[in-house]
Structure 1
């Protein structure tokens, strides 16, 4: 079957690009190996309960942010519940820290817990940087540059506030903490490191100021809950695609992409498809294996990261009774001595909304728990029970659950993530930020400067729904500018 554009994988980057291209009248097909859309931002059913696959928090709907741009461009509407309190953090010294959505409230809370020294100027600086980063990211959709046309388009869109961001690419978050006299505040550095892991997948000595400030401030923008789970995002875009003549084909696991004179042949077990253009929405490591064109492989090879520089995840899916009393949905729990087997010093907990009856029964809630597993190809978790007990024990001690209320529990290692998502090494969260990889050195959207493109959490700008949404916007923009 002939298409204008085939997208590999139905992660949110692919779906964002697909929606924008379908809006322009292109015949679009998304090939997805699973039976649900959304990739690592989706929901699956088990034993009558709906659990999140990966991502559990939704941001990006504020002015000058990618998801807001996507919805405004397409007219897609989402049924959302805004969270009055984005998160609470259970610190290693036993204190409970509330990440308020209002900047002034948050600064007062940070000063209460960490001391007044340096907190106000640090957070004001971070918030200002994060606002400028999001605004600039949509103004400069040709970034990172890979041809002269990109440079010309960027020059036309240059604004003074954009230039002020450049020094931040050369400074790390460790430099920022030093600047504000905060590096010797161990409680604060522990907090910053574990918060950066959630969104930047790395620690303060590696994450540059631009990404780090933006990562730390995501709770200061609108945070939302999707009734029914994150799959609601993908379903809304799927409906839009159908309305525009596009489609998502499930159980289509792509195993080869061949470059042709007039486009590409995309092969999977269900058959082969012809297309003028192709967009890979899967990680670069997996994209590399799909292309038979040695020129594409050669261009991709310098961008690939090995397992030792990536993270996998240990996750738990729990159904609880009698959990309605917990009002804040998202919690980061510090583990001072680290978790057994993997050494992680925190884990992230997300509850379903107490008013959401579509994911669990009356007086029941589902819970998603995740923690990082470094170098997932090298670390084999033999005894999941030991990890489960360590996490459940910590949660019970903090009043986040009672073991007797558990109705269902399942856990998964990076090996399960390989099976579910087909992502190399069972990688989650995309490529971590590293200080020796500047934003302009990250992989841009073009694969072969002919008709193949890439988006997702391993290319610029990186992790999270809002980040991969931006990558999809950029891929669609460059394809349209190059060829349409």
Structure 2
């Protein structure tokens, strides 16, 4: 049986794994990326059906502005970013009462604040000034790529170098929730603003203001206003570019090559795949969700790790609709968030994000047509009840289509292709255990302490992706992959 040997094996070709592999290959490491599916990009990847390219997830393009994470990554890799357009309107948010235009530029956004939250507009603006100020401090801290949170005793002394006026100023925001901060501005009882803000936090941090640590929420909220972009061909083109960089620097990216089992061998690690293929390396980077972690190792090995098994409800799943339509959209706002009932939880089709391909982007859709990806948070357990599965799909599809037609009349008449996706779909095609996506759900002011750092507790085995700090989204996953690459280079 042949054994292929490398310095680093990366399991999973999501944005975290590709970022880590691209940086290490650029530095001269021999790297192999093993991807179980037939596509790059993980939950931010794509698939092609019926002449359309659909984004696997409804994801806003971020981090491409000057100084942004992905902009800096491509500069380091000496690669050009693919064509993209900066979005003046990040998204439209539709509530039963109004349509909120969420502008990228602060002055435009504040004018919209005056219009849609007139009673408390000054407090809302003061809150956002705090978000921008604290968000900037968080950015300064993350530029140093600290291993965080300190899951191991020896990580604590390393944090001493980050004790400075900037980090000390962040302390109150690491001990409070976003709701705590809102109370200081007397915004917690403003129903319209809370509905808007909770919708933004659900899509970016997976939870609402009462459960979200303030510094995580602020980091997400300020990111929207640094730059939102439509990438030609979708975010999958970024994943493809990173794979090109890995190969150009001597690395390998192999699709349909799942990691089935990982075992230690003489101070190194052996990754076993299908057809008795084996790969050996001194370092392994896991970018396949920590929900899958314990499936990869023998019990005596994973018992030595810092990764604890969690329960089925610790992460959301996603119900998706992938729709090809005739281009009947009058304005070119690409992201639309619809909240159907402000009194109900922002999940299960009551709140969803609709992502529209760019007008004229023929990589995404045939001429005069558009590709749409729609996503709503859903509890995963219900989707594994086989007898209810088809009825549940139909119920959620109708709920979402009805919600769209409240704001886009006759939408159904434009549909060319419609395909639902569920947590079962994500497990089948993206190999996420029970279809759980989007990282862990924060559940209180100190919940960030229970996040997992890039260290797994196994010597030479690292983790990145949405279940690792700093969490979900292409920015968070790329940043954790960057952190892993830095730690491996330190030796």
Q: Per-residue displacement from partner, 1:241-299 (whole Å, max 9, x unpaired)?
A: 11100011111111100011131000011411111110100111102211226343343
Aligned to 2:437: 428
- Cα contact 1:111–1:119 (8 A) shared by 2: no
- Asked if residue 91 in structure 1 is aligned to residue 100 in structure 2, the reply is no
Deviation larger for 382-391 or 128-137: 382-391
* Pair 1:385–1:440, CA change in 2 (3 A): closer
Aligned to 1:281: 287
Aligned to 1:195: 200
SS at match of 1:217: helix
Deviation larger for 67-76 or 455-464: 67-76
Counterpart CA distance in 2 for 1:436 and 1:379 is: 32
Aligned to 1:144: 149
> TM-score normalised to the size of structure 2?
0.92
Aligned to 2:210: 205
SS at match of 2:89: coil
- Asked if residue 58 in structure 1 is aligned to residue 61 in structure 2, the reply is yes
* Pair 1:425–1:160, CA change in 2 (3 A): same
- Cα contact 1:320–1:364 (8 A) shared by 2: yes
2:31 to 28, 31, 35: 28
2:47 to 39, 44, 47: 44
- Cα contact 1:17–1:472 (8 A) shared by 2: yes
Aligned to 2:160: 155
Counterpart CA distance in 2 for 1:78 and 1:323 is: 30
SS at match of 1:299: coil
Aligned to 1:392: 401
Aligned to 1:405: 414
Counterpart CA distance in 2 for 1:98 and 1:257 is: 49
Deviation larger for 151-160 or 181-190: 151-160
Aligned to 2:484: 475
* 1:90-169 equivalence runs, <5 A: 90-93=94-97, 95-115=98-118, 116-145=121-150, 150-151=155-156, 153-169=158-174
SS at match of 2:244: helix
SS at match of 2:417: strand
Q: Note the C-alpha offset of 1:421.
A: 1.2
- Cα contact 1:45–1:51 (8 A) shared by 2: yes
- Asked if residue 242 in structure 1 is aligned to residue 251 in structure 2, the reply is no
Counterpart CA distance in 1 for 2:156 and 2:6 is: 30
Aligned to 2:322: 317
Aligned to 1:7: 10
SS at match of 2:457: coil
2:80 to 72, 77, 81: 77
Counterpart CA distance in 1 for 2:390 and 2:232 is: 35
- Cα contact 2:174–2:446 (8 A) shared by 1: no
- Cα contact 1:64–1:138 (8 A) shared by 2: no
Counterpart CA distance in 1 for 2:88 and 2:479 is: 25
* Pair 1:123–1:161, CA change in 2 (3 A): same
Counterpart CA distance in 1 for 2:217 and 2:279 is: 41
Aligned to 1:294: 300
Aligned alpha-carbon RMSD (Å): 2.2
Counterpart CA distance in 2 for 1:332 and 1:237 is: 30
- Cα contact 2:7–2:29 (8 A) shared by 1: yes
> TM-score normalised to the size of structure 1?
0.94
- Cα contact 1:126–1:213 (8 A) shared by 2: yes
Structure 1 stretches of 5 or more lacking a match? none
- Cα contact 1:140–1:157 (8 A) shared by 2: no
SS at match of 2:284: strand
Q: Note the C-alpha offset of 1:325.
A: 2.0
Q: Note the C-alpha offset of 1:182.
A: 0.5
Deviation larger for 22-31 or 220-229: 220-229
